[in-house]
Amino acid sequence: MAPSPIQAPGKMITAQGPVDHDVPREIATDELPSVLDEYVQAARNAVEAGLDGVEVHAANGYLLHQFLSPNSNERSDEYGGSPQRRARFVVEVVSAVAQAIGAERVGVRISPGHQLNGIAEVDEGDMASTYGSLVDQIAGLKLAYLSILADPSGQLFADLSQRFSGSVIANDGFSEVTSLMSVEQTLSSGHADAVAVGRPYLANPDLEVRWAQGAELNEPNMDTFYGGGAEGYTDYPTLAEGA
């Protein structure tokens, strides 16, 4: 079994084992079409493998988020500089993936202001312009959903949700574990149609039954997060199994 990032911290896990990360470099403008093609091919592969759809990940410091954030995007071509230009590559990727597999099979995740993995989005005006531009340009595509990792009671969340107009999924990150009460609060705000549940669902395969019954929950074990195999993912007991 491949080691997990926890077992090999700071390493990149490949089929050949853990290796050091390359030193990051700016992608040349003429390389971008091939990067976009990789997203499209990955989406096609997912559908061909039988999945219902894909989530284009533009959150949490991953590649597309690095285009959006002013501290990671230092480009001087048409993909850098203004908020609109920083949103451009994400719009192009989402549009191309939607065209390839059908917009109804495509969701997008964003995490404005989530300072993770080197992201420093601290200017609220800039965030409103960047994410506003992004959402305005994908709102017409009729995507499956927009997943926003941010404070669902915040102004930016409400603004983006309104501008998207389709289904919006909320999650406010790792600081507080999602609870039934927080889900109900978020849904009653009217700015989200659903809530993404991470750790409680990972630890409770029958979470909806437990929440409905007010039953005890299994505690998630952080040591098995991001593991290389099934442990910590498929082995938590259901109520019926006696826990």
Ligand X SMILES: Cc1cc2nc3c(=O)[nH]c(=O)nc-3n(C[C@H](O)[C@H](O)[C@H](O)COP(=O)(O)O)c2cc1C
User: What is the closest distance, in whole angstroms, from the C-beta atom of residue 120 to ligand X in the complex?
Assistant: 18
Question: Which CB sits closer to ligand X, 59 or 91?
Answer: 59
User: What is the closest distance, in whole angstroms, from the C-beta atom of residue 55 to ligand X in the complex?
Assistant: 8
Question: Which CB sits closer to ligand X, 60 or 84?
Answer: 60
Q: Which long-range contacts (CB under 8 A, 24 or more apart) does 128-133 make?
A: 128/156, 128/159, 129/83, 129/84, 130/68, 130/70, 130/83, 130/86, 130/87, 131/68, 131/87, 131/156, 131/160, 132/83, 132/159, 132/160, 132/163, 133/83, 133/84, 133/87
Interface with ligand X by CB under 6 A: which residues? 59-60, 109, 149, 171, 173-174, 177-178, 196-200, 202, 225-226
What are the backbone dihedrals phi and psi of residue 12, each rounded to the nearest 5 degrees, phi first? -100, 130
Question: Which CB sits closer to ligand X, 140 or 229?
Answer: 229
Question: Which CB sits closer to ligand X, 70 or 152?
Answer: 152
Catalytic machinery residues: 62
User: What is the closest distance, in whole angstroms, from the C-beta atom of residue 131 to ligand X in the complex?
Assistant: 16
Question: DSSP label at 105?
Answer: G
d(CA 63, CA 53): 20
User: What is the closest distance, in whole angstroms, from the C-beta atom of residue 64 to ligand X in the complex?
Assistant: 11
Report which of 86, 136, 109 is spatially closest to residue 194, judged by C-alpha positions: 109
Q: What CA–CA distances, in Å, run from 211 to 169, 186, 188?
A: 19, 16, 17
Q: Which residues of 26-38 are buried (b: 16+ CB within 10 A; e: fewer)?
A: ebeeeebeeebee
For tokens 């300072």, the residue is 115
Nearest residue to the partner ligand X, using Cβ: 198
Question: Which CB sits closer to ligand X, 85 or 107?
Answer: 107
Question: Which CB sits closer to ligand X, 142 or 226?
Answer: 226
User: What is the closest distance, in whole angstroms, from the C-beta atom of residue 62 to ligand X in the complex?
Assistant: 8
Q: What CA–CA distances, in Å, run from 5 to 87, 116, 177?
A: 30, 16, 22
What are the backbone dihedrals phi and psi of residue 73, each rounded to the nearest 5 degrees, phi first? -95, 105
User: What is the closest distance, in whole angstroms, from the C-beta atom of residue 116 to ligand X in the complex?
Assistant: 9
